[in-house]
Structure 1
Amino acid sequence: MGATFTATREALLRRQGLVFVAPGRATASERHLQAIELELAQLGYVASRRLRQRLATLAPDELALQPRLVAAALAAQVGANVRYTPLFRRFPEDVPRDTSELYLRKLLSHFLQAEGQPCVFCRRVGTTHVLSPCMHVVCDHCFDGANYSACPVCEHHVDRDSPFFKPGRLLQRSLPREKVRFKLLDLGEDLPAAARALFESFCARTQVMSPVDAGDLGAIADEFGEQVLAWLPDEIAVRENVARIFGALLRKCNAPATFAVARAHLATATDVLRTLAVFSGADPSLQGEVVRRRVQQPAPEQPAAGGLQARLKKVFAGQERLPKARTVTVVTHKYRFKVAPLPRPLRRAVLAHLESMHPDGLVEDMLRHRSYWQWLGQFLHPHEFAGRFPKVARAFATVRKKAPDGTPAPRFVGFYAAIEAAARAGDAAAMVERLQARPGELGRRFDHALRVAGADAGAQDVVISAFVAAAPRLANPLLLTLHGHLPARGRPTALRVFWPKGQVTKGTSAPDRRAPLAPRAIAAAGAAVERELLRRLADKPGFETCVLDEGLRDVVVPFNERTASRAAVSLPRGSRVALPAGEVVRLFLHWCQPEAGQTTDIDLSVAFYDESWEYVGVCSYYQLRFDGPDGQPIAQSSGDLRSAPFPDGAAEFVDVHRERAKARGIRYAVTVVNNYAGLAFSRLERAWAGMMLRSDLGGQHFDARKVELKFDLQGDNGVFMPLVLDVAESTMHWLDVYSTGQFEMNNVATSNKAITKICPEMIGYFASGVRISMFELALLHAAARGRQVIVRGAGRVRGFARMANESAEQFLRRIRAGEGATPSSPAASGAPVFAALVHGDLELPPGSVCYALFRDRVIAPIAASDLLS
């Protein structure tokens, strides 16, 4: 490992808990091994016996370096790779109770306190200090320098060498006294094999990869280069993933040779466009780039001379001000990317591949991304090769709306225009006739086609028959989406939620005005979907025993992974997680400005609401404590830092006492991260937030062992609502949703309307069951692949054994109904098992396949997305 601790090793460590260490020829001392174990334990990890034995064979210099690199990677995963120093260093002690009084004191200090003069509050002489570089004059009697880490007046970081700052009476415990659930690390033996297995799992994904997956894929491609070409499967299901894979390989390998392999996977012009985007270092989602420009807005025109004189008199009298020019922010979207140099052989290969496509399909596909193709054409120069590639030249002329000689391009009517025309005409049969050529579109528009058919039973039968025939050709994620969607369409719902593409998730809602679907249509389509899913899963390797946790009923099958926040735990959006009673939720935030970057102020707040989502209170920079009737804090902030200079950045914390909140009549506590001023989240050097569960609030502010969630801040939006605490049910709702907010000065008060709309809508949407749970997905696997299914939950363990000649459909219905259940135990017999767990707390036999939301003791678990393949 040593100096070769690559990004691939880091990915396998982070995802699977594997540490790759070549055997040495030395014998390490017990003292050194114990020091390594202690360092890992401080991060919440413990080494397996096999890993410890391998470490014991290393020479002292290797033993000093290798575990340090492992620890650094693990620390970065949970956010323990930076220092967390809040504004009030003795937090949660000594947080001012009256924020208004504190604000008034800061305001008066800013305007009235002068250097060398008595303090404006205590009138003492010789107690004031000038802080640099803000130049505020602060009194060490009125402001406790032992408690502050930044300027008490402006809350910006300053030179800490000032005599104002004092050591303080900080607690000296190295770690708080906490009950810790440690995660296991094990020895990895074959790095290329592990990297290949992970790469192949990315290729098998049946939905767009998350940012974490995409980064790990790029790491493997960079490290193994042309070796990866031999690992490619015959088919890669998702078009955007194709672009991720081959775009990364084109950057590393011989471009023309790699494109020759890629051609078999690039079915459309959009596939080519996305691949060239990744090759150029751009995002393959083709969602455009947000551009913010500060422009000077001119002052309004002045009135005529006579009117100007009259106004000037009012100005000199102090009755009016002359209008001034002001600076405003203009936001635009740019649909292009910086194209990497395209070697001439690669350009010819791209044009030749586009020429091989159907001419109408080529034009239609390019028109979907007209701006990108107009831009890319400047680099491909298609009309220089018009004689050699005439179809490509025609397509670019259509995209540009004119040929190089200036003649207008012919009007083009494509596939989707014909579908919309049939829908407007109320002709469901014509819709289906067109859609049958593209089964995926038929599946996505099945509900729409049924509504176009209306009450006409004959038209409904045409739509249903076409769908049932197309079901075997639909992708697993689409089948699973319909598996959750169809049962909910028998009755009107209060709300529809849409998930438009974008760099971050902004769930858009509207009233549901759709007519309910006919019960027979729902039954026929639902049966076809379930039957097809079970048939596909039955083709996978079988298991004698399957173990499922009922707690996964609250975990949603991942969707829209493109916008999922980078997180230490891959918790799918919309999921709920039960929280243990008694522990305090400590939320944390860290951000850092780029070197020589703009000063940026990000605020961590918690807004409180009752059962009806009526606002109750807030803990934020303008109210540092939110107290209950007894004066005890329901929540308190560590203070507002308004700058995060490179390289250390800044940190904020908020403690939420759930039991006190519940006693106060509070139901929901909403975590809100506001971009108050400065750079967007995506332009910062780093920015993340997270949640710890603490029973001992003393000692270190940040305890890596107790981090339950850590997630990156991303995108350009001003308000991020990552999670909601339901204090009545002791659960956490993971929403991972953004709101546009204002350009600056975002806080809970300005965001309250968005909070009380988005949060209840998202919670209600996911509670409706329209998105199926990981338990339901795992149950489909178990019914199709297992002989015995053990279900753990609610203090009981039930076992279901498949009967002789019992089909997967019959077995599935019986497990759902709880028929034939017997008390059981998850103890394994030694044969491999299939397991889907909330916490990986089982010792699994070799060869087992396990999904675990929290990895804990499970080594090399599969991802949730792997169960969709």
Structure 2
Amino acid sequence: MDAMYTATREVLLRRQGLVFVAPGRAAASERHLQAIELELAQLGYVVSRRLRQRLATLAPDALALQARFVATALAAQVGGNVRYTPLFRRFPEDVPKDTSELYLRKVLCHFLQTEGQPCVFCRRVGTTHVLSPCMHVVCDHCFDGANYSACPVCEHHVDRESPFFKPGRFLERSLPREKVRFKLLDLGEDLPAAARGLFESFCARKQVMSPIDAGDLGTLVNEFGEQVLAWLPDAIAVRENVARIFGALLRKCNAPATFAVARAHLATATDVLRTLAVYSDADPSLQGTSEKRWVEQPPGGSLAGGFAAKLKQVFGGASTLPKAKMVALTIHKYRFKVAPLRRPLRRAVLAHLETMHPDGLIEDMLRHRSYWQWLGQFLHPHEFAERFPNVARAFAVVRKKAPDGTPAPRFVGFHAAIEAAARAGDAAAMIERLRARPGELGRRFDHALRVAGADAGAQDVVISAFVAAAPRLQNPLLLTLHGHLPTRGRPAAVRVFWPKGQVTRGTSAPDRRAPLAPRALAAAGEAVEHELLRRLADKPGFETCVLDEGLRAVIVPFNERTASRAAVSLPRGSRVALPAGEVVRLFLHWCEPEDGHTTDIDLSVAFYDDKWEYLGVCSYYQLRFDGPDGQPIAQSSGDLRSGPFPDGAAEFVDVHRERARARGIRYAVMVVNNYAGMAFSRLERAWAGMMLRADLGGKQFDARKVELKFDLQGDNGVFMPLVLDVAESTMHWLDVYSTGQLAMNNVATSNGAITKICPEMIDYFASGARISMFELALLHAAARGRQVSVRGAGEARGFARMANESAESFLRRIRAGEGASPAVLPAASGPPVFAALVRGDLELPAGSVCYALFREQVIAPIAASDLLS
């Protein structure tokens, strides 16, 4: 296999299902090709005829190398690149029913069992073994060594060469018998063109990229280097994405020359700051970093470093003084480790800042005062004060004084003036200021209307300013307003906030906002919808559009910066229907860092009724949650308390949805707890996910049946990725964290957060405050299509656009279902179509544009974020 652009090949394989293989001059044997197909089938993939024909031209060594690359990349995509060995190796069989009795045995064994003595339980002699390195003495008659993968007492990994673990050291299992939806792999022909197309789609994004998108962008820039400069568009909409591109280029290419190109895209001081952050391998979101420090806390007092020392000074070091204890305190810092800034690059940065409006420069730098105070130590602006006086003045304001100690002048910025007008109840003054910044006007439209109150004249000023600004608002903001405005005629049950950060926490408050006037909502809503349709009509048209009704439950992506890295890009707040009959098998894998630090991550499921009253749990302290008939509603594979490098550890929980529903359970919440205190972000690797299993025998982990796989991230202690609604057979994807405790997090300690965050999130997304992917796709179809087919449960309805029918009229008619007729889905040999599907189970014509939540047969699908451009 060609060694060039290996990481880019992996990106395109993972995202688009394309395998780039140069034609060979050999003839591979049918046996080798079938072996490759079998290996890929075990991961849930099949190859197209074109790809198989190309593989058949490779020599044996080249074919083996290509197959190994593809299989390794795809296995990592679904989490199949590690061995999953739970504590109870025969799981789901032979899981102890009585966790309390098991715990008692472990405690007594820990304190009473000694080497060479009869077993404290069965009194047998010669059945005990000393495990290393924990040194616990265990009896192979009382603990089944063929079922355990770690020490039965402390549940830490130990040396498996001990006779206790024999026979059945690894208990090899075959693949279960399952019905599988295979995903198609196809032949890629032009790698640079595919890479350029993906890069250009990133540049066209109208919102901040998700972590996985940002990582893939960095891969393209790193491997193609200066070639990327020729791919740059005239404008890049999102400032943070600009920083990611040019920050990566500054690291890879000649810094001054690259910065000369970047200047055209860096409009503000914050753009420069973000770019230097990426150049320094830091996060461009500028949300700061947290670290834990140990400080003294006096007995019964507040945190105070050195408090005990001060007491000794006063009282002469009296021995009767109580001893201060050390406690962990989280410190949040707004700075990053700055990469070397050579003199030519420093001059280029300062020269570019000097070209900005002086007041705008100061205001922008004050938004991130701590960062600029820190960065100034590396830029040395006052060395060039005569050459760049505006920059020197800005740094003096930021530092609150000039280098000679002279106090800096007081500065009142744009946002301070807006807040002052709002406090004064002057909506007209707010609008007068906001007209200069349409995006800010759009974001503050709701606020300005509330300031206007019942004054019809003030309302008219706000409405007219908004309508005039609508053509200059970005698509994501228009779509946010498209969902938000219809909900503002009445108070919401709860307000949910989405602050910037590395992960999303469940932040909410009562809705104390006054409802907005119906005429204001109608006028603004009409302006938003008209502007969206106008922009989408400028995109390439299609004779046929195909939409899935199921996308009504999928939310348009937002706040992507905090989205978990996942194999399926499921937007936060979405619901996915689950097939009846299959058992949900949740899985967790984590690996401790190579430096030897240890931790314990726990997988649990908490159960609630339809009023969110707690009903039970399946976790490390209750391995089985049984129904009245004694059959398990849920059972755990056991609690592994260490995940040593390099193999890590794994846990599973099976949830039998039919039994749960019969027990009166409505919700089952997946909870991943940081029990030992190490942040998720410090682990060597950590992920979790969900399988749907009909056959619980065979291998515990089956890559073919993985529906979701997502990484654990951030510094928080409790992760609530999803909720199963067993009554409606759906899965709610929440992807939300809670701070939790410093350590010893479990469902019991997190129950308050679970019963607050989960129902609030579910109700918020059900309210329609965030529009669905179906609504977004419908806007595209009404503006760009002539024939629209809507696939529902067992039928497809067709709508034909009439002569001279406007996009607004066509949209209203499709929404109302007027003029529908049975639809015929497009043939694979026909003209290109636009499609938005839950599952990519259609064979689409060449040249089609398709979004598919689950890719399956679709090759090179667009991302959900691409529909926002």
Task: Say whether the fold is shared (TM-score over 0.5).
Answer: yes
Establish whether residue 520 from structure 1 lines up as the match of residue 519 from structure 2: yes
* Letter of the structure 1 residue corresponding to residue 216 of structure 2: D
Q: Which residue pairs with 1:245 in the alignment?
A: 245
- Paired with 2:323 and 2:69, the residues of 1 have a C-alpha distance of 56
Query: Deviation at 1:57?
Result: 0.3
Query: Deviation at 1:354?
Result: 0.3
Q: Which residue pairs with 1:140 in the alignment?
A: 140
| Alignment of structure 1 residues 633-672 onto 2, 5 Å | 633-672=632-671
Residues 198-225 of structure 1 show CA distances to partners (whole Å, capped at 9, x for unaligned) of 0000000000000001000000001110
Which stretch of structure 1 is more off in the superposition, 374-383 or 172-181? 172-181
Instruction: Tell whether the 8 Å contact from 1:90 to 1:170 is kept in structure 2 after alignment.
Output: no
Instruction: Tell whether the 8 Å contact from 1:547 to 1:834 is kept in structure 2 after alignment.
Output: yes
* Letter of the structure 2 residue corresponding to residue 775 of structure 1: F
- Paired with 2:433 and 2:162, the residues of 1 have a C-alpha distance of 75
Secondary structure of the structure 2 residue equivalent to 1:164: helix
* Letter of the structure 1 residue corresponding to residue 502 of structure 2: Q
* Letter of the structure 2 residue corresponding to residue 424 of structure 1: R
| Alignment of structure 1 residues 561-710 onto 2, 5 Å | 561-710=560-709
* Letter of the structure 2 residue corresponding to residue 375 of structure 1: W
Which stretch of structure 1 is more off in the superposition, 290-299 or 3-12? 290-299
Query: Deviation at 1:295?
Result: 4.1
Instruction: Tell whether the 8 Å contact from 2:781 to 2:788 is kept in structure 1 after alignment.
Output: yes
Q: Which residue pairs with 1:68 in the alignment?
A: 68
Instruction: Tell whether the 8 Å contact from 2:211 to 2:565 is kept in structure 1 after alignment.
Output: yes
Instruction: Tell whether the 8 Å contact from 2:503 to 2:562 is kept in structure 1 after alignment.
Output: yes
- Paired with 2:196 and 2:784, the residues of 1 have a C-alpha distance of 25
| Alignment of structure 1 residues 88-487 onto 2, 5 Å | 88-168=88-168, 173-295=173-295, 297=297, 326-487=325-486
Instruction: Tell whether the 8 Å contact from 2:718 to 2:745 is kept in structure 1 after alignment.
Output: yes
Query: Deviation at 1:343?
Result: 1.5
Query: Deviation at 1:598?
Result: 1.2
Structure 2 spans left out of the alignment, 5+ residues:
301-307, 313-318
- Paired with 2:174 and 2:66, the residues of 1 have a C-alpha distance of 24
Residues 426-467 of structure 1 show CA distances to partners (whole Å, capped at 9, x for unaligned) of 000000000000000000000000000000000000000000
Residues 666-702 of structure 1 show CA distances to partners (whole Å, capped at 9, x for unaligned) of 0000000000004210000000000000000111010
- Paired with 1:668 and 1:294, the residues of 2 have a C-alpha distance of 40
- Paired with 2:483 and 2:474, the residues of 1 have a C-alpha distance of 15
- Paired with 1:55 and 1:824, the residues of 2 have a C-alpha distance of 39
Instruction: Tell whether the 8 Å contact from 1:451 to 1:515 is kept in structure 2 after alignment.
Output: yes
- Paired with 1:577 and 1:759, the residues of 2 have a C-alpha distance of 16
Instruction: Tell whether the 8 Å contact from 2:606 to 2:671 is kept in structure 1 after alignment.
Output: yes
Secondary structure of the structure 1 residue equivalent to 2:165: coil
* Letter of the structure 1 residue corresponding to residue 416 of structure 2: A
Which stretch of structure 1 is more off in the superposition, 168-177 or 233-242? 168-177
Query: Deviation at 1:323?
Result: 6.2
Instruction: Tell whether the 8 Å contact from 1:557 to 1:773 is kept in structure 2 after alignment.
Output: yes
Distance 1:455 1:299, change over 3 A: closer
* Letter of the structure 2 residue corresponding to residue 71 of structure 1: A
Q: Which residue pairs with 1:836 in the alignment?
A: 836
Establish whether residue 815 from structure 1 lines up as the match of residue 840 from structure 2: no
Which stretch of structure 1 is more off in the superposition, 848-857 or 674-683? 674-683
Instruction: Tell whether the 8 Å contact from 2:826 to 2:844 is kept in structure 1 after alignment.
Output: no
RMSD: 1.5
- Paired with 2:148 and 2:626, the residues of 1 have a C-alpha distance of 22
- Paired with 1:558 and 1:299, the residues of 2 have a C-alpha distance of 48
Instruction: Tell whether the 8 Å contact from 1:832 to 1:848 is kept in structure 2 after alignment.
Output: yes
Residues 228-277 of structure 1 show CA distances to partners (whole Å, capped at 9, x for unaligned) of 00000001000000001110111111111111111011000000000000
Query: Deviation at 1:620?
Result: 0.2
- Paired with 2:810 and 2:777, the residues of 1 have a C-alpha distance of 14
* Letter of the structure 2 residue corresponding to residue 188 of structure 1: G
Residues 2-29 of structure 1 show CA distances to partners (whole Å, capped at 9, x for unaligned) of 4346111111000000000000000000
- Paired with 1:15 and 1:504, the residues of 2 have a C-alpha distance of 23
Q: Which residue pairs with 2:305 in the alignment?
A: none
Query: Deviation at 1:299?
Result: 6.5
Query: Deviation at 1:706?
Result: 0.2
Query: Deviation at 1:324?
Result: 5.7
Query: Deviation at 1:294?
Result: 3.3
* Letter of the structure 2 residue corresponding to residue 140 of structure 1: D
Residues 28-48 of structure 1 show CA distances to partners (whole Å, capped at 9, x for unaligned) of 000000000000000000000
Query: Deviation at 1:327?
Result: 3.6
Superposition TM-score, scaled by structure 1 size: 0.97
Secondary structure of the structure 1 residue equivalent to 2:383: helix
Residues 322-379 of structure 1 show CA distances to partners (whole Å, capped at 9, x for unaligned) of 9665442110101100000112111101000000000000000000100000000000
Q: Which residue pairs with 1:307 in the alignment?
A: none
Query: Deviation at 1:868?
Result: 0.1
* Letter of the structure 1 residue corresponding to residue 582 of structure 2: E
Residues 40-75 of structure 1 show CA distances to partners (whole Å, capped at 9, x for unaligned) of 000000000000000000011101111111100000
Instruction: Tell whether the 8 Å contact from 2:89 to 2:171 is kept in structure 1 after alignment.
Output: no
Q: Percent identity?
A: 88
Q: Which residue pairs with 1:789 in the alignment?
A: 788
Secondary structure of the structure 2 residue equivalent to 1:751: helix
- Paired with 1:696 and 1:327, the residues of 2 have a C-alpha distance of 52
Instruction: Tell whether the 8 Å contact from 1:171 to 1:699 is kept in structure 2 after alignment.
Output: no
* Letter of the structure 2 residue corresponding to residue 669 of structure 1: A
Query: Deviation at 1:171?
Result: 6.5
Secondary structure of the structure 1 residue equivalent to 2:196: helix
Residues 615-660 of structure 1 show CA distances to partners (whole Å, capped at 9, x for unaligned) of 0000000000000000000000000000000000000000000000
Query: Deviation at 1:585?
Result: 0.3
- Paired with 1:327 and 1:49, the residues of 2 have a C-alpha distance of 66
Secondary structure of the structure 2 residue equivalent to 1:377: helix
Query: Deviation at 1:661?
Result: 0.2
Instruction: Tell whether the 8 Å contact from 2:677 to 2:717 is kept in structure 1 after alignment.
Output: no
Distance 1:678 1:423, change over 3 A: closer
Superposition TM-score, scaled by structure 2 size: 0.97
Instruction: Tell whether the 8 Å contact from 1:171 to 1:698 is kept in structure 2 after alignment.
Output: no
- Paired with 2:35 and 2:821, the residues of 1 have a C-alpha distance of 48
Distance 1:327 1:2, change over 3 A: farther
Query: Deviation at 1:169?
Result: 9.5
Q: Which residue pairs with 1:33 in the alignment?
A: 33
- Paired with 2:242 and 2:532, the residues of 1 have a C-alpha distance of 24
Instruction: Tell whether the 8 Å contact from 2:677 to 2:742 is kept in structure 1 after alignment.
Output: no
* Letter of the structure 1 residue corresponding to residue 637 of structure 2: S
Instruction: Tell whether the 8 Å contact from 1:584 to 1:658 is kept in structure 2 after alignment.
Output: yes
- Paired with 1:296 and 1:485, the residues of 2 have a C-alpha distance of 48
Instruction: Tell whether the 8 Å contact from 1:97 to 1:624 is kept in structure 2 after alignment.
Output: yes
Instruction: Tell whether the 8 Å contact from 1:2 to 1:66 is kept in structure 2 after alignment.
Output: no
Query: Deviation at 1:547?
Result: 0.1
Instruction: Tell whether the 8 Å contact from 1:199 to 1:217 is kept in structure 2 after alignment.
Output: yes
- Paired with 1:488 and 1:746, the residues of 2 have a C-alpha distance of 37
- Paired with 1:354 and 1:525, the residues of 2 have a C-alpha distance of 37
Q: Which residue pairs with 1:318 in the alignment?
A: none
Secondary structure of the structure 2 residue equivalent to 1:491: coil
- Paired with 1:805 and 1:540, the residues of 2 have a C-alpha distance of 18
Query: Deviation at 1:170?
Result: 7.8
Query: Deviation at 1:293?
Result: 2.1
- Paired with 2:588 and 2:394, the residues of 1 have a C-alpha distance of 50
* Letter of the structure 2 residue corresponding to residue 163 of structure 1: P
Distance 1:291 1:354, change over 3 A: same
Q: Which residue pairs with 1:319 in the alignment?
A: none
